[in-house]
Amino acid sequence: MSQDSRNARAAQPAAGDAGTVRVTLTVNGADHELLIDSRVTLLDALRDELALTGTKKGCDQGACGACTVLVDGRRVLSCLTLAAQCDRRQVATIEGLSSDGRLHPLQEAFLRHDGFQCGYCTPGQIMSAVALLHEGRTGSDDEIREFMSGNICRCGAYPNIVAAIREVARQGAR
């Protein structure tokens, strides 16, 4: 037997034996009771269980930021967060950002400054930016760049993303 087949066998998973858990997620203000596999990530719970597909999966390894959501107001990578960790916590996603059909100022600023192209990283960028404003990390362009660097934009819209965040931060300061 070759080395490769031994590795493949050793990697056999123990599927289905971890049990299910009951989790109450409060997403954008609404409670959702879920009975899910204990290993389900917050990202998969949002997308597959709650059909909230605005939150994107770009790597599933915590490296790209596309899945950024807020949990109790702090930005987290939902692909590296188990849904079970979020029981009875406040989860905010892109779908909850606009109210009464009116876009959030950051959404408007991203639109105006063309802070995206394909749009796939955009929900994560915007959720990160929402947190950034609260974190007070918008003092300079360099600071915005640094603290937005967990969110990859492969289309390369970074200068426009910085411009959008800068504008909203300044409006807020007035």
The reply to whether 119 sits near other proteins by the rule CB under 8 A is yes
**The only residue of 13, 29, 33, 174 in contact with other proteins, by rule CB under 8 A:** 13
**The only residue of 24, 30, 63, 72 in contact with other proteins, by rule CB under 8 A:** 63
The reply to whether 157 sits near other proteins by the rule CB under 8 A is yes
**The only residue of 25, 92, 161, 168 in contact with other proteins, by rule CB under 8 A:** 161
Task: Please say whether the beta carbons of 40 and 50 come within 8 A.
Answer: no
The reply to whether 9 sits near other proteins by the rule CB under 8 A is yes
**The only residue of 68, 160, 168, 169 in contact with other proteins, by rule CB under 8 A:** 160
Taking the C-alpha atoms of residue 91 and residue 114, their distance in angstroms, rounded to an integer, is 27
Residue written as token pair 């050793």: 10
Neighbours of 118 (CB within 10 A): 10
Taking the C-alpha atoms of residue 149 and residue 166, their distance in angstroms, rounded to an integer, is 15
> How many residues form the binding site for other proteins (CB under 8 A)?
72
The reply to whether 98 sits near other proteins by the rule CB under 8 A is yes
Task: Please say whether the beta carbons of 97 and 126 come within 8 A.
Answer: yes
Say how far residue 65 (Cα) sits from the centre of its chain: 6
The reply to whether 20 sits near other proteins by the rule CB under 8 A is no
The reply to whether 12 sits near other proteins by the rule CB under 8 A is yes
CB neighbours of 141 closer than 8 A, spacing ≥ 6?
162, 166
The reply to whether 118 sits near other proteins by the rule CB under 8 A is yes
Residue (9 or 88) nearer to other proteins, CB? 9
What percent of the chain is helix, strand and coil (3-state, nearest 5)?
40, 20, 40
The reply to whether 86 sits near other proteins by the rule CB under 8 A is no
Residue (26 or 80) nearer to other proteins, CB? 80
